Each structure stands twice: as structure tokens, then as C-alpha cells.
């Protein structure tokens, strides 16, 4: 189903990074991994992925938001789905989601996905965005 789309994963937990890579590869995606926001940004510019999945808490508690914002502000990046990966809803006591346009606007990402990741759900969401994109074109 997935036609070898390019997915960028950024996570500072090397174990989770590798697991997510394996899982998504098993679903037929081409996966690029970065373990810092800087590397993630470079890889984004270099590979121009079709989607990005970014862990929220890396160098800083909100590194994921910062990187997501950068990607979403980029000419190419504004058109790709960016997912934030987190268990932070429990950490800060603040529940945040990206359900409304307003939330998506200030958070600058398309989905917030709670850990641990259910790969089938993740794939479903990715495919949903890819389908929307091709419908637009």
C-alpha cells in the first residue's frame, strides 16, 4: 500500500528510534533516522521526506515542537504531515492535542501521537494524509 514513501523519524532514544524504523520498514516505508534536532533538520533538507515523526522531549522539553515548527515553516515542509510523538500529556499535567485548526496552527504539527506507538494506527494516519494530498493534486 505504501509505495516506498520517505519517512523521517527524530528521537533521542536510540532504542525507540531503531524500533520505529524497523516497524515502518516492515510496512514498506523508506525510513531515515536522526537522534538530534539538528541532525533531523539536516536530514529533512537533504531527503525531503513525505512525512516526519518527531519525539517531543529531546535536548529540551519542547525540542520536538521547535523542529516541527521549522519544518512546517519551510516551503517544502509545509505540505508534509508532521507528527509529534510524546508521553508528555502526562508529564506537564497539561493535555494538549492537535485536533482543531487553531491548535494545529500554534503547535504547527498535524498529529500528536502518544507513546507507545501502535504501528497500525500510525500507518493508518500517515496513509490518510497521503491520500488527502494526492486528492488535492
Partner 1 sequence: MDNQKPKVLIVDDEKGLRIGTKRLLEQEGYCVATAENGKEGIRIGTSEEFDIAIIDLKMPDIDGITVLKEIRNKWPNTVCFIATAYASYETAIEATKLGAFSYIPKPFTPDEFLSNVNKGYENRLHILDRENWKREREARLLEVAFEKTRINTIINSISDGILVVNKNAETVLFNPSALVYLSLEKIDIEENILNKINPQISDLITKCLQKGEYVKKSYSSQVEIKPNHELVIEATSSPVPHPDGSLAGVVVVLKNITKLKKIEYIKNQFVSMVSHELKAPIAAVYGFLKILSDPNIPVSPEQQESFIKRSETRLESLLKMVNDLLDISRMEMNTYHREIIEIDVNEIIISILELFSSEIENKKIDVTKNVDSPLPVIHGDSGEITRLFTNLISNAIKYNKEGGKININIECSGNYLLAEIADTGIGMKDDEVNSLFHEFYRAKNEFTKNISGTGLGLSIVKRIVDAYSGKLEVFSEYKTGTTFRIFLPINKGNAQNS
> For binding to partner 1 (CB under 8 A), which residues are involved?
12-16, 19, 22-23, 26, 35-36, 57-59, 87-88, 90-93, 115-116
Contacting residues for 92 by C-beta, under 8 A, at least 6 apart:
none
Nearer Cβ to partner 1, position 31 or 80?
A: 31
CB of 134 vs partner 1, minimal distance in Å: 26
**Residue 1 Cβ vs partner 1, minimum distance, rounded to whole Å:** 14
Triad 54, 46, 22: Cα angle to 5°: 50
108: which DSSP letter?
Answer: T
* Calpha distance 11→128 (Å, rounded): 23
Q: Rounded to whole angstroms, how far apart are CA atoms 19 and 33?
A: 11
Q: Looking at beta carbons only, is 6 or 115 nearer to partner 1?
A: 115
- Closer to partner 1 at the Cβ: 57 or 66? 57
Smallest gap from Cβ 26 to partner 1, in A, equals 4
Amino acid at each position: 500500500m505504501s509505495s516506498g514513501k520517505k519517512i523521517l523519524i527524530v528521537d533521542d532514544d536510540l532504542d525507540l528510534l531503531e524500533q520505529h524504523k524497523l516497524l515502518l520498514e516492515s510496512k514498506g516505508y523508506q525510513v531515515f533516522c536522526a537522534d538530534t534536532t539538528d541532525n533531523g533538520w539536516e536530514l529533512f533538507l537533504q531527503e525531503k521526506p513525505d512525512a516526519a515523526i518527531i519525539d517531543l522531549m529531546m535536548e529540551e522539553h519542547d525540542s520536538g515542537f521547535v523542529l516541527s515548527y521549522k519544518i512546517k515553516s519551510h516551503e517544502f515542509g509545509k505540505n508534509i504531515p508532521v507528527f509529534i510523538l510524546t508521553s508528555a500529556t502526562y508529564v506537564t499535567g497539561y493535555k494538549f492535542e492537535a485536533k482543531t485548526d487553531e491548535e494545529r496552527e500554534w503547535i504547527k504539527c498535524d498529529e500528536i501521537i502518544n507513546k507507545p506507538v501502535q504501528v497500525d494506527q500510525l500507518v493508518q494516519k500517515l496513509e490518510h494524509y497521503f491520500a488527502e494530498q494526492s486528492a488535492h493534486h
